[in-house]
Structure 1
Amino acid sequence: MGIKLSCIDVCHASRVVSNDFYLKHFEQQNKNVEHLLVDVMGRDKRFMFDEDETTLSLAVKVSKSVLDKANLKGRDIDVLVYSSILSEYISPATSILLHKELNLRTNAMCFDMNANCAGMAIALEHMSNYLISSKRAKRALIVGCDDDNSLIDSNNELCYGNYGHAACAIILEKVDDDCGVIDTEYYVNTKVSDKVMYPSRGFSNFFKSKNIDELCLKWLPFNSGFFVYPATEIIKRLLKNNGLTRNDISMFCLSQLALKNIKKIRELMNIDEGKSIYIGDKYGYTGTSSPFIALYESIKQGKIKRGDYVVFWTFGAGSQSIVMLYKY
């Protein structure tokens, strides 16, 4: 038995914003962010919400699209998981609103999860394990969409201009084929747990605050090496433990937070650029959906086919990394 990623689709926001907007924005503050934005983060353009677009509208759109693409209806889904750092609504859960829009069956399990940017990858592992153990459930729909941009301080050059808006949806299906999650390992390092915080003083103070800065996402400088180096060691370990080498991997779908991180992993593992796709210059950084948009683009470009091995690596603020060895 295997859990097949049977279908994947992506929907992005409608407005395209180039680096020029952010370069001019920070020039007015006497800040030159070109090196950070282009060389470190690797940004060029990004898709941004129009006035009537939200994480919920994109989630509904991509969910309907992936179901159509898979020739399925909402009633064919047994589990629906929605991953986001901050949903459009806290109550009810966004998964319930998606349930309504997709007309899922009444006995479908629905829940939202927040593991920050690692959420969708963690959901993939957990739902794969759930489908294997469940006597009833056969299919799961996982949807991810983040909107960090609306939370951040426009004066913070570390993150303003970094994000883009795009939702991704995947369908997992219980099959008799040899496919799915092979191995997974996590790495938690809480030394930087105070570097990316929202709300900056907690929800207990959110409505008491009279300072607008305290209502924004707090993003302080931190060294990315503390999760890049462990990631490469975990990848090497997972490959060795499962009798594989880097040459057996068709694609490394890595976090799209910063091009600099991907380049460092390429260097440390001697991975070709063609096997570690970067799409952050087109989409911006999309948070929870970013490694799966990399997967989507790789499949679309013919770089991944059925039976190929894929490595996922991403991390959430705080921080928690996940490395996953996967057979597509």
Structure 2
Amino acid sequence: MGVRLSSIDVCHASKIVSNDVYLEHFKRQGKDIKHLLVDVMGRDKRYMFDDGESSLSLAINASKTALKNVNLEGGEIDVLVYSSILSEYIVPVTSILIHKKLNMGSNVMCIDVNANCAGMAIALENMSNYLMSSKRAKRALIIGCDDDNALVDPNNELCYGNYGHAACAMILEKVNDDCGLIDNEYYVHTSIIDKVMYPSCGFSSFLKSKNVDGLYLKWQPFNSDFFVSNAVEIMIRMLKNNGLTKDDISMFCFSQLALGNIEKIRELMNIDEDKSIYIGNKYGYTGTSSPFIALYESIKKNKVKRGDYIMIWTFAAGSQGIVILYKY
């Protein structure tokens, strides 16, 4: 028995915004961010919300399409997990609002998770194990959508212009087949715990002082080399422990935060560009959904087929990383 990723779909925002908007924005501040935005982060354009769009509306649309792709109704889902750094609503939890829109049944576990950019990957690992152990639940719907752009300081070139809006929904299903989660490993480093924070002063202080600056995500420069080195170390060890090599992996689906990170991993592991797809130049950085949008694009382009092995790596502020070995 295994847990199959039976459907995956993406819904992105409708407005396309090019780099020119942000290059001009920072030029007026006397800053030249072209090298950072293009060479390091790898941005070209991104999908951004138009009027009437939100992380909730994108999540609902992605979920409906993911269900339709495998001829399922909302009532056939047993678990709904929504991953976001800042949900459209926190009371009630956004997963319950999605539950209503999908006409789901009454005996459904609905939870919102926030592990920042690692949230959707952690949900995949958690729900795979939950379905295997549950006597009742057969299917889980996992949705990820972030609106990081709502948090960022327009004067901070490290993050403003980096993000895009896109939701990803995937359905996990318990099946009598050899597929699903093979292995995973987490790693935590708190040496940069104060570099990316929201609210920057903490909610207890922010709600008392109503400090306008506290509305913005605090993002200070930090060295990401240890993210990459830890990921590479874990991936090499995980492949060896499971009797595989990098050549057995059809696609490496990495965090799309920065093209520079992906290029370092390619070099250290001797991975071809064709097997480590980068989509951050098209979507922008979408946070929790980013490695799964890479997977979605890989499947759509027929680079990943049923029975193929994939590896997923992503990390979150603080920092927490996760590597997953998966049989699609």
Band the TM-score falls in, shorter-chain normalisation: over 0.9
d(CA) in 2 for partners of 1:204, 1:236: 43
Q: Look up the SS of the partner of 1:322 in the other structure.
A: strand
Q: Match of 2:186, as an amino acid? A: Y
- Give per-residue Cα distances to partners, 1:285-325, cap 9 Å, x unaligned: 00000000000000000100000000000001100000000
Deviation for aligned residue 1:7: 0.3
Q: Do the aligned residues in 2 keep the contact of 1:209 with 1:215 (CA within 8 Å)?
A: no
After superposition, the C-alpha distances for 1:201-234 in whole angstroms (9 at most, x for unaligned) are 0111222335422210000000010211010000
CA shift, 1:4, in A, is 0.1
Matches within 5 A, 1:61-140: 61-140=61-140
Is residue 44 of structure 2 the alignment partner of residue 44 of structure 1? Answer: yes
Secondary structure at the residue paired with 2:299? helix
d(CA) in 2 for partners of 1:92 and 1:189?
32
Match of 1:159 in 2: 159
> 1:11 aligned to 2:17?
no
1:169 matched residue in structure 2: 169
Aligned residues: 328
Q: Can you list the C-alpha shifts for 1:142-180, whole angstroms capped at 9, x where unaligned?
A: 000000001010000000000000000000000011000
Using structure 2 for the length normalisation, give the TM-score.
0.99
Are residues 1:257 and 2:291 paired?
A: no
Question: Which 5+ residue runs of structure 2 have no aligned equivalent?
Answer: none
Decide which moves more: 178-187 or 59-68: 59-68
Match of 1:246?
A: 246
Give the C-alpha shift of residue 65 in structure 1. Answer: 1.2
Match status 1:202 vs 2:169: no
Give the TM-score, by structure 1 length.
Answer: 0.99
Distance 1:215 1:60 in 2: 27
C-alpha distance in 1, partners of 2:43/2:93?
32
The runs of 5 or more residues in structure 1 that have no matched partner are none
Contact preservation (8 Å) 1:84, 1:288: yes
By how many angstroms is 1:70 displaced? 1.4
Give the letter aligned to residue 166 of structure 1: A
Query: SS where residue 207 of structure 2 aligns?
Result: coil
**Letter of the aligned partner of 2:140 in structure 1?**
A
User: Greater CA deviation, 76-85 or 59-68?
Assistant: 59-68
C-alpha separation between the residues in 1 aligned to 2:248 and 2:30?
A: 48
Matches for 1:290-309 after TM superposition, within 5 Å: 290-309=290-309
- Tell me the distance in 2 between the aligned counterparts of 1:209 and 1:195: 22
Equivalent residue letter for 1:71: N
Matched residues in 2 for 1:273 and 1:212: separation?
A: 43
SS of corresponding position for 1:208: helix
Per-residue deviation at 1:51? Answer: 2.1
Cα RMSD for the two superposed structures: 0.6
Structure 2 letter corresponding to 1:164 = G
Q: Is the 8 A contact 1:198 1:218 kept in 2?
A: yes
Give the fraction of aligned pairs with identical amino acids, expressed as a percent.
Answer: 75
State the secondary structure of the residue aligned to 2:169: strand
The one-letter code sitting in structure 2 at the alignment partner of 1:149 is: N
CA distance in 1, matches of 2:112, 2:70: 23
Question: For the residues of structure 1 that align with 2:318 and 2:23, how far apart are their CA atoms?
Answer: 28
Q: Which amino acid aligns with 2:85?
A: I
1:75 maps to amino acid: G
Q: How does 1:172-321 map to 2 (within 5 A)?
A: 172-321=172-321
